[in-house]
């Protein structure tokens, strides 16, 4: 159910980030189907909200890191960071280089997110997960997300966020303000029962991915299943669910003039679904791929 994606790197050393950016750049250069750019999720995060990210990989967004993130590249770049851990002006410089910036793994106050928005922050990574929550006197990241035009990624697997909570978010943001994120890991499309993540064993337990301590480690979720879950769990129409998987993320990444809709002049990235929502066939740039 995916025709375009951002390979995602969680918090790691700068040398690894540089190699990952170079690898994605090379993939785009040779025309690897579906690769739109890269998502650098950390390490400029709040260690108190790190989730599965390793605490020893957290670091400040300094000039050495900025040089790597703002260098010329192919494709789109999404950077997830905690604005309370970033010096004023840094987000604006990232946006000026062509990157999209989202808040995530953050304990920021409402005012800190508002200030980041003024610098060009446009997204929220994994709304409700690993961030300061909506409170009576301090709205936190969640409150800032729901009270603004920030585009919010959501993981609709029935585990990361309660369907009731997501239904409320959908009422406030609408399909144009929420985009589906799989947070998929290497087990998707395979029958493996475990895999390694930065030296830790991640276990596949039915439809959940956890480490030895029970911490969620990504999601056992395909995009086709995410679309189906939006209909089944959130009560949305299939059209709304599909928009959240296509048109909304394309617009967020600045690609709405190229893909995300079926319209003359846009790239023929298409998914054919069966009546029950399974993927029958996909096309990337007009080239068919059999499921």
What is the C-alpha separation between 23 and 70, in angstroms, rounded?
Answer: 16
The answer to whether 3 touches 284, Cβ cutoff 8 Å, is yes
**pTM of the predicted structure, to 2 decimals:** 0.95
Torsion 170-2-36-247 (CA) sign? negative
Rounded to an integer, the average pLDDT of 13-22 is 98
Q: Please state, in angstroms and as integers, the Cα–Cα distance from residue 192 to each residue in 23, 185, 225, following that order.
A: 25, 11, 19
- What domains does the chain contain, in order, with CATH numbers? 8-183+222-266 (3.20.20.140), 185-220 (no CATH)
Residue of 183, 196, 211, 276 with catalytic role = 183
Each residue's pLDDT tens digit, 131-182: 999 999 999 999 999 999 999 999 999 999 999 999 999 999 999 999 999 9
Rounded to an integer, what is the distance from CA 25 to the centroid of its chain? 19
Cβ(113)–Cβ(144) below 8 Å: yes
* pLDDT at residue 251 is higher than 80: yes
CB 41 within 8 A of CB 34: no
| pLDDT, tens digit, 9 for 90 and up, residues 25-43 | 999 999 999 999 999 999 9
pLDDT per residue over 202-217, tens digit each?
999 988 999 999 999 9
Give the whole-angstrom CA distance, residue 254 versus residue 49: 28
Please check the confidence at residue 242 and state whether its pLDDT lies above 90. yes
- Spatial CA neighbour of 154 closest among 165, 143, 139, 141: 165
Instruction: Return the bridge partners of 40, or none.
Output: 9, 79
Q: What is the pLDDT of residue 124?
A: 98
Note the pLDDT of residue 175. 98
Comparing 79-88, 101-110, 158-167, 198-207, which segment has the lowest mean pLDDT?
198-207
Catalytic site residue 13? no
pLDDT at 291: 58
Mean pLDDT of the chain: 96
Give the model's confidence band at 189: pLDDT under 50 very low, under 70 low, under 90 confident, else very high.
Answer: confident
């Amino acid at each position: 159910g995916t025709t375009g994606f951002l390979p995602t790197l969680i918090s790691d050393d700068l040398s690894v980030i540089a190699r990952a950016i170079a690898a994605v750049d090379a993939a785009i250069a040779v025309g690897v189907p579906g690769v739109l750019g890269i998502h650098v999720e950390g390490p400029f995060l709040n260690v108190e909200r790190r989730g599965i990210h390793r605490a020893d990989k957290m670091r400040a967004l300094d000039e050495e890191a900025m040089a790597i993130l703002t260098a010329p590249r192919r494709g789109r770049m999404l950077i997830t960071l905690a604005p309370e851990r970033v010096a004023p002006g840094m987000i604006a410089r990232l946006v000026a280089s062509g990157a999209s910036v989202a808040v995530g793994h953050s304990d920021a106050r409402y005012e800190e997110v508002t200030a980041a928005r003024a610098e060009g922050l446009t997204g929220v990574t994994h709304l409700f997960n690993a961030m300061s929550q909506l409170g009576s006197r301090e709205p936190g990241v969640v409150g800032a997300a729901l009270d603004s035009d920030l585009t919010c990624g959501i993981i609709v697997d029935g585990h990361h966020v309660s369907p009731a909570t997501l239904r409320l978010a959908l009422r406030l943001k609408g399909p144009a303000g929420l985009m589906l994120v799989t947070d998929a890991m290497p087990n998707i499309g395979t029958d493996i029962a475990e895999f390694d993540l930065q030296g830790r064993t991640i276990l596949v337990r039915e439809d959940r991915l956890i480490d030895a301590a029970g911490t969620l480690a990504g999601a056992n979720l395909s995009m086709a299943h995410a679309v189906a879950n939006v209909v089944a769990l959130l009560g949305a129409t299939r059209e709304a669910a599909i928009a959240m998987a296509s048109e909304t993320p394309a617009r967020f990444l600045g690609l709405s003039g190229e893909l995300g809709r079926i319209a003359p002049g846009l790239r023929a990235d298409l998914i054919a679904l069966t009546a029950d929502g399974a993927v029958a066939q996909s096309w990337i740039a007009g080239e068919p791929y059999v499921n």
